[in-house]
Amino acid sequence: MMANLTIGEPLIKCVDVTKTYIMGEQQVHALNKVSVDFIAGEMTAIMGPSGSGKSTLMNLLGALDTPTSGDLFIEGRNLSSLDVDELADLRNKTIGFVFQQFNLLNRATALTNVKLPLRYSREPVADIDARAIECLSMVGLSDRMNHRPMQLSGGQQQRVAIARALATRPAIILADEPTGALDSRTSIEIMELLVTLSKQGITVILVTHEEDVAEYAARKIYFRDGVIVADDRKMT
Amino acid sequence: MKLKLAISSAIEALLANVLRSFLTMLGIMIGVASVMAMMAISEGAAIQVDQQISALGASNLTVRPGASRRGGRHSGANSAPPFTDKQVQILQQEPYVTAISVRNSGAVTVVSGSDNWATQLYGTNVGYFETQSWGVTAGEIFTQRQISQSAAVVVIGKTVADTLFEGTNPLGQVIRAKNVPLRVIGVLEEKGQSSFGGDRDDIVIVPITTARNRILGAHKTTPKHVSSITISIADGYIMADVQNQLEDRLREIRRIKPGSADNFRVFNIADFVRARSSTQATMGVLLAFTAAVSLIVGGVGVMNIMLVSVTERTREIGLRMAVGARKGDILGQFLAEAILLCLIGGLIGSALGVGAAELAANVGGFPISISPMIAATALSAAIFIGLFFGYFPARRAAQLNPIEALRHE
Ligand SMILES: Nc1ncnc2c1ncn2[C@@H]1O[C@H](COP(=O)(O)OP(=O)(O)O)[C@@H](O)[C@H]1O
Ligand SMILES: [Mg+2]
């Protein structure tokens, strides 16, 4: 399904993306004419101080929000040309979002949580239970399928959230401070999981505050006051 | 929108908070129960009226001699002459007549062996059984020939048969009325209570000639008099028109000068019953209306709680959108929740309504009728209420912006 993507074109392309919030009299430029590309399969860490616009960018990349101006292209499609249903389908099929606060349904089991995106999928999945179980075992939770979030540790909850993000086999995983609510040992486990996914060809973009977490990524982008101030690729 | 998904998500949400779901549907339950009960009671009343009317003959007109209220002039009831066989024969020629019956009546005591019983005796023609749609369960009715012969035969009502013969076969037995021996040739079908409270089966019927000449003794006055005529009107005629035509014809036949008061009256007995029951029907409509209002109040309750629920679950809605739920999916889920609440409330309410109606029947003595139609109406009303009052909260949920919903505290 990368029909619109010509060879060499980036998977995600941002052109002069601006997001402005109006707070009373004041205008807050959360993002100020940001242009950046993400190449398929490359794991990227986005860093920068609090309030520098990292989450704003992630929400735009995840088609959860719309820019004030500028264009975003995912798999060659301009998001501003898509209607609300097409955006919903894009979030379902192409993007897996991982939140800092996990955002699991508390009354549902791990399995039911992972099945959620599959139930909204427009492309019928033959056996959604099998698919959800497969995703849970990918994150190492095949023995916790029928546990509810309250019965799981923070790290395990974030794994369930990652399994949910993987369920529809998306090309992109967006993780906004996925380790922000976890201790350092658990953080390492989650990062190793994301690296594994990246090696399987999924484009992982994550936000983090911590330099040692960012070390797992092939590319580091630094934000300050809504603009990119540095963009480093690891030499391999 | 995915229907199965909407329903399964709705069921999950409802099960997640059973107590609240139950409290939400309480209003609908009470509303549907009262709609059901009220409909059952007013339907029961309507059916009773219909039965009474058809027992009297829905398309019958009855003519009696008597003073008319027409023109504001009253002549004494007693001064009005009865009808005659001749007049009946003339009326029979009218195009709208399908059957015509005559009846003279009097109180008699009938005797069988050592038993006696005070009852009502009718002298009638053969047409009487036709206008009253009244047949026999045993034996037969008398014939035209027996009428011409003033035959001493009698057809008896069920009450009389039960009282005088207590299980033995009355056919062929002889009873005496005013010392005239009458052979029982038929037992009438049971008619039950009349709408005026009398026992319609407490009756003996003889040929009108036998009644006049041998029992009631009216021959002392006019040998051929008839005190009451009933006419069955053919299908396709309008009763009120026929009634006017009949009145005009009777004035001609009975030679009433223009400007003089009528000396007869034409009754449409069905109208009597309808008039008597119309207050009852109005009450029924009012009660059903009140019940419908309570259903709407229940619907508003559902809407309120659904709105609270949408606010409480804003983050969940945001998450569903983030993983790919379309607007229509969210709309469908919340609509399905509202409809399911109302449907389940409606089902429980229907059961309660049937119970309440049965109670009204057993304790209050109301006639009731519980038809599948009533249940279907009450349930569709509940579903409609769910759809109507669920739409606003569901739309509010569907219109949420994903990122704002996710940030909601
Ligand atoms: N919904 C909002 N309304 C108003 N201002 C916002 C909103 N979201 C973010 N901002 C502002 O935009 C800027 C960037 O925020 P954000 O992208 O969340 O930063 P980060 O994730 O890097 O900490 C901040 O100044 C923040 O206050
Ligand atoms: Mg942030």
Please report the pLDDT score of residue A139 as a whole number.
93
Task: Give residue B72's pLDDT.
Answer: 47
* B206 Cα: distance to centroid of ligand 1 (angstroms): 104
Helix (H) and strand (E) counts in chain A: 7, 10
* Pair (B217, B292) in one structural domain: no
| Residue A55 forms part of a structural domain | yes
Q: Examine the pLDDT at A21 and tell me if it is beyond 50.
A: yes
Q: Which residues pair with A204 in a beta bridge?
A: A173
Nearest chain B CA: its distance from A152 CA (Å): 19
Does residue A27 sit within a domain?
no
Residue A168 lies in a domain: yes
Report how far residue B393's alpha carbon sits from residue B328's, in angstroms, rounded to the nearest whole number: 13
Same domain, B297 and B356: yes
Q: Do residue B323 and residue A91 have CB atoms under 8 angstroms apart?
A: yes
Is A186 inside a domain boundary? Answer: yes
Q: What is the distance between the alpha carbons of residues A13 and A39, in angstroms, rounded to a whole number?
A: 9
pTM, two decimals, is 0.72
Ligand 1 and A64: CB distance under 6 A: no
- From chain A, the residues in CB contact with B325 under 8 A are 88, 120
Confidence (pLDDT) at B196: 66
Asked whether residue A91 is assigned to any structural domain, the reply reads yes
**Does B258 reside within a domain?**
no
Q: Are B250 and B262 in contact (CB under 8 A)?
A: yes
Report CA torsion sign: B122, B123, B124, B126.
positive
Q: What share of chain B is helix, strand, coil (3-state, %, to 5)?
A: 55, 20, 25
- Nearest chain A Cα distance for residue B321, angstroms: 7
A90 within some domain: yes
Mutate to test the pocket of ligand 1, among A23, A26, A27, A56 (most ligand atoms within 8 A of CB): A56
CB-nearest partner of A84 from B2, B12, B327? B327
CB B117 within 8 A of CB B110: yes
Q: Residue A53 belongs to a domain with what CATH number?
A: 3.40.50.300
Q: Specify the higher pLDDT residue, A185 or B291.
A: A185
The answer to whether residue A29 sits within a structural domain is no
Number of domains in chain A: 1
Query: Residue B34: which domain range?
Result: 3-52+277-407
10-residue block means of pLDDT along chain B (409 residues)? Answer: 83 87 90 86 81 75 74 53 88 91 91 90 93 91 92 94 89 92 94 76 93 74 80 86 89 85 83 71 78 88 92 95 96 94 93 90 85 85 93 96 92
Q: What is the pLDDT of residue B221?
A: 52
Q: Amino acid identity of A185?
A: R
Judge if B221 and B283 occupy the same domain: no
The two three-digit tokens of residue A77, written as one number:
């499609």
B378 with B287, same domain: the answer is: yes
pLDDT one-digit tens code per residue, A112-151: 999 999 999 998 888 999 999 999 999 999 999 999 999 9
Choose between B375 and A11: higher pLDDT.
A11
Mean pLDDT of A9-20: 93
- Same domain, residue pair B24 and B146: no
| Contact by Cβ (8 Å): B159, B201 | yes
SS3 A156: helix
Q: Tell me if A123 is assigned to some domain.
A: yes
Q: Of B187, B208, B226, which closes a domain?
A: B226
Among the candidates B202, B226, B250, a domain finishes at B226
Parent domain of A54 = 43-63+81-233
Q: Do A164 and B320 touch (CB under 8 A)?
A: no
| Residue A45 token pair | 């860490």
Q: Is there a single domain that holds both residue B11 and residue B127?
A: no
Per-residue model confidence (pLDDT) at position A142: 92
What's the rounded Cα separation, in Å, for the pair B32 and B394?
23
CA–CA separation, B256 vs B74, rounded Å? 14
Distance CA B119, CA B231 (A): 25
B326/A72 Cα distance (integer angstroms): 21
Residue B208 vs residues A174, B127, B148, B239: alpha-carbon distances, Å: 103, 11, 9, 28
pLDDT beyond 90 at A39: yes
A55 close to ligand 1 (CB < 6 Angstrom): yes
Residues 303-332 on B with a CB inside 8 Å of A are 315-316, 319-329
Contact between residue B60 and residue B374 where contact means Cβ atoms under 8 Å apart: no
| Cβ <8 Å between A99 and B406 | yes
Q: Is B243 within a domain?
A: no
The verdict on B399 and B294 lying in the same domain is yes
Pocket perturbation via mutation, ligand 1, pick of A19, A21, A176 by most ligand atoms within 8 A of CB: A21
Q: Which atom in ligand 1 lies closest to the alpha carbon of residue A59?
A: 17
Task: Reply yes or no on whether the pLDDT at A2 is more than 50.
Answer: no
Give the pLDDT confidence score for residue B67 in this predicted structure: 67
Q: Give the separation between CA A29 and CA B203, rounded to whole angstroms.
A: 101
Interface of A with B (CB under 8 A): 59, 62, 64-65, 84-85, 88-89, 91-93, 97, 99, 103, 105, 107-108, 116-117, 119-121, 164, 168
Domain count, chain B: 2
Q: Which of A21, A91, A94 to mutate to test the interface with B (most CBs of B within 10 A)?
A: A91
- Is B378 inside a domain boundary? yes
Q: Provide the pLDDT for residue B195.
A: 62
Contact at CB, A85 and B320, closer than 8 angstroms: no
Residues B400 and B326 in one domain: yes
The burial class, CB within 10 Å (0-12 / 13-18 / 19+), for B263 is: buried
